[in-house]
Structure 1
Amino acid sequence: MEIVIPEVSGPIGLYGFARPRPERAAELESLLLSFVEPTRREPGSLQYQVHRDVADPTTLVFYELWRSATDLREHLAVPALAGFQRTRMDYLREDLEIHWLLPLN
């Protein structure tokens, strides 16, 4: 799955689900958490968090808010994120599920 960012003006958010292969769950969690601090320091990053789903603790949920779609595109081009995009199915039992958000306030 190629991540296609909607063309919007202004801030853009997203939330998504990462459902790991059972044998790679801890590794995926560590990898996703390793992205948090560097991402929060990127220009245009307004919020970036990784969560565990309470109803399904094997599912990781991520939430991101960016100043613009351009900032998000630049984020996805960072080598660590681009590498994850290429190898993500090594960790996942199904592809990432991503939902796009337009902030109203």
Structure 2
Amino acid sequence: MTETVPTANVPFALMGLAHPKPERAAELKELLLSFVAPTREEDGALEYHFHEDAADPSTFVFYEVWRSKDHLDRHLSLPHMRDFWDHRMDYLERDLEIRFLSMRSPYPRPLGN
């Protein structure tokens, strides 16, 4: 029997890669780290993590899980996120690589409406 994962109450996840300009890497790292704590407090934020690639510390990786795409959209509409998006290429060698993910394993905590 095949079970279909319902779209309601399924988290919306993404991962991204950022390749900073070498002369702006430290500045971008601090900026991205400054987003972690306030984002984790946002309504709908289930997971929000910032990483450095272990094999290439000049590559930054972020992983996010949101209660829904609407929650992510609200996050991206916040002034500091719009400002980052508008100025991201000041920091980056090439644009962000973002992959939207379909979560297939059950989320460890029940998701309310």
Can you give the 5+ residue segments of structure 2 that lack an aligned partner in the other structure?
Answer: 1-6, 107-113
Can you give the 5+ residue segments of structure 1 that lack an aligned partner in the other structure?
Answer: 1-7
Pairwise CA RMSD: 1.0
Alignment coverage as a number of residue pairs? 98
* Structure 2 residue matching 1:32: 3-state secondary structure: helix
Structure 1 CA distance for aligned equivalents of residues 29 and 88 of structure 2: 12
Aligned to 1:86: 86
Q: Give the C-alpha shift of residue 98 in structure 1.
A: 0.5
Structure 1 CA distance for aligned equivalents of residues 56 and 32 of structure 2: 17
Structure 2 CA distance for aligned equivalents of residues 12 and 76 of structure 1: 14
**What's the CA shift string for 1:47-72, capped at 9, x where partnerless?**
00000001111000000000000000
Q: Which amino acid aligns with 1:76?
A: L
Structure 2 CA distance for aligned equivalents of residues 81 and 37 of structure 1: 14
Identical aligned residues as a percent: 54
Aligned to 1:3: none
**Runs of 4 or more consecutive aligned structure 1 residues displaced over 3 Å after TM superposition:** none
TM-score under structure 2 length normalisation: 0.84
Aligned to 1:5: none
